[in-house]
Amino acid sequence: AQSVSQHNHHVILSEAASLELGCNYSYGGTVNLFWYVQYPGQHLQLLLKYFSGDPLVKGIKGFEAEFIKSKFSFNLRKPSVQWSDTAEYFCAVSRIIQGAQKLVFGQGTRLTINP
SS3 assignment, position 41: coil
d(CA 42, CA 60): 16
Only one of the segments 10-18, 22-30, 38-46, 77-85 lies at the binding site for other proteins (rule: CB under 8 A); that segment is: 38-46
Q: Does 28 bind other proteins (CB under 8 A)?
A: no
25 contacts 95 by C-beta, under 8 angstroms: no
CA 96 to chain centre: 19
Backbone angles phi, psi at 112, to 5 degrees: -115, 125
Q: Does 105 bind other proteins (CB under 8 A)?
A: yes
Q: Does 60 bind other proteins (CB under 8 A)?
A: no
46 contacts 40 by C-beta, under 8 angstroms: no
Touching other proteins, residues 76-95 (CB under 8 A): 90
SS3 assignment, position 44: coil
User: Minimum distance between the CB of residue 65 and other proteins, rounded to whole angstroms?
Assistant: 14
Q: Residues 25, 76, 106, 111: which binds other proteins (CB under 8 A)? A: 106
Q: Does 59 bind other proteins (CB under 8 A)?
A: no
Which stretches of the chain bind other proteins, using CB under 8 A? 32, 34, 36, 42-46, 49, 51, 90, 96-108
